Amino acid sequence: MSSLGTSFVQIKFDDLQFFENCGGGSFGSVYRAKWISQDKEVAVKKLLKIEKEAEILSVLSHRNIIQFYGVILEPPNYGIVTEYASLGSLYDYINSNRSEEMDMDHIMTWATDVAKGMHYLHMEAPVKVIHRDLKSRNVVIAGDGVLKICDFGASRFHNHTTHMSLVGTFPWMAPEVIQSLPVSETCDTYSYGVVLWEMLTREVPFKGLEGLQVAWLVVEKNERLTIPSSCPRSFAELLHQCWEADAKKRPSFKQIISILESMSNDTSLPDQCNSFLHNKAEWRCEIEATLERLKKLERDLSFKEQELKERERRLRMWEQKLTEQSSVPLLPSFEIGAWTEDDVYFWLQQVVRKGKWNNLPSEFMELTLRTTLQGKRLLFLEEEDKDMGIVSKGHIIHLK
């Protein structure tokens, strides 16, 4: 920790007055607090230890990236101190009554805020950063209404590795991230498309579906969020581009900013967009219908999986039965006179298994081994053989 102490501004734990928990970030809980000596309202993310996030935040400086102040390094108290966004997360805003006030200007401003912040991370920061967990919960609203990207717990410097482990939240995750494949910065483009969809629809992405269900639908079935038919074409096209399965076909954030600027110059778009926003009751059913279809698809999959498991179970039982039936080694020859005592014993087992000699005394099986009954002797069993416990000579039938 000594190296961290020299790298970052250290803030004393006692110099912070903690208030309410205002959410959970990746790998830690976030609290509103007061930095007493600076008389500043801050956000403190409590952690078990200081890792990559502080290193990333410490080199970033942009209007649309949450500002980093320092770290707490007093065992067992560890944390990251940043600016506090008093209006909460974009997710909470979208899913509250406040979102009813949103119009095209509002959406365009915020869409541009997020795009500029991401462009900075990818192209203008001292080191390229892939966020990997961009979602509306990780975008906060400052007191002046500016959006700021936060929570870099899942982020990586791009020059460290392009192979990513499974991190993030499924409804916002690109297919390649879900599959833990090598990624580029356009995995963030995919997530941006989901955030833009949230702002346009004011709905929760893949609402009611479990994370792994979403992962299966996105990767295996190439499903995407429903874009209502009345959504303005320019927005719909941008969403489709962001959600391309081929990461190379997705636009960069520089291109997205350019697209947004062109859309801002379209004089017919505000009326189209505002009409779409205000007539949610007319198109919300399209989203709900898709969700029901996806849930049914998932239920059908579950049924088929159960059916397959049952078939596999029956197959295993059948294979086990066959294995048991064939567990007796094959006799080396049909020349009975050449059988050893073991061959005779194995032959008797087969006869019993096939149900051809159900009344065979169990003692007989043991006697064949104790008396070293070989094939030649078996062919010439006579009355005196009763002395070894053989009452019936029905076995002779099976030798003919």
Q: Give residue 324's pLDDT.
A: 61
Does residue 97 sit in the same domain as residue 69?
no
Domain count, the chain: 3
Does residue 274 sit in the same domain as residue 343?
no
In a domain, residue 328? The reply is: no
| Backbone φ and ψ of 222, nearest 5° | 55, 35
In a domain, residue 319? The reply is: no
For residue 31, give its domain range: 2-83
> What tokens does 101 get?
């006030």
Active site (annotated) includes residue 133? yes
Which CATH number fits the domain that encloses residue 344?
A: 1.10.150.50
Final residue of a structural domain among 49, 83, 117: 83
Does residue 103 sit in the same domain as residue 35?
no
Does residue 163 sit in the same domain as residue 272?
yes
Q: Give residue 368's pLDDT.
A: 58
Q: What is the DSSP letter of 31?
A: E
In a domain, residue 259? The reply is: yes
Cα–Cα distance measured from residue 248 to residue 184, given in angstroms and rounded to the nearest whole number? 9
| Backbone φ and ψ of 165, nearest 5° | -80, 170
Q: Give residue 145's pLDDT.
A: 96
Q: Give residue 165's pLDDT.
A: 45
Q: Give residue 22's pLDDT.
A: 83
Taking the CA atoms of residue 207, residue 209, residue 215 and residue 218 in that order, the dihedral angle to the nearest 10 degrees is: -60
Q: Give residue 168's pLDDT.
A: 55
Cα–Cα distance measured from residue 250 to residue 77, given in angstroms and rounded to the nearest whole number? 42
Final residue of a structural domain among 39, 67, 83: 83
pTM for this model (two decimals)? 0.72
Helix (H, G, I), strand (E, B) or coil at 221: coil
Residues 6 or more apart whose Cβ sits within 8 Å of residue 183: 130, 132, 162, 163, 164, 174, 176, 177, 247
In a domain, residue 250? The reply is: yes
User: Which residues does the chain have with pLDDT short of 50?
Assistant: 1-6, 159-166, 386-387, 389-391, 393, 395-400
Q: Give residue 361's pLDDT.
A: 55
Query: CA nearest 60: which of 131, 141, 133?
Result: 131
Q: What angle in degrees, to the nearest 10, is found between the helix axes of 186-201 and 104-119?
A: 160
Q: Give residue 306's pLDDT.
A: 61
Does residue 389 sit in the same domain as residue 284?
no
Of 39, 105, 113, 133, the catalytic one is 133
Final residue of a structural domain among 17, 49, 83: 83
CB 154 within 8 A of CB 183: no
Does residue 259 sit in the same domain as residue 369?
no
CB 344 within 8 A of CB 375: yes
Q: Give residue 121's pLDDT.
A: 96
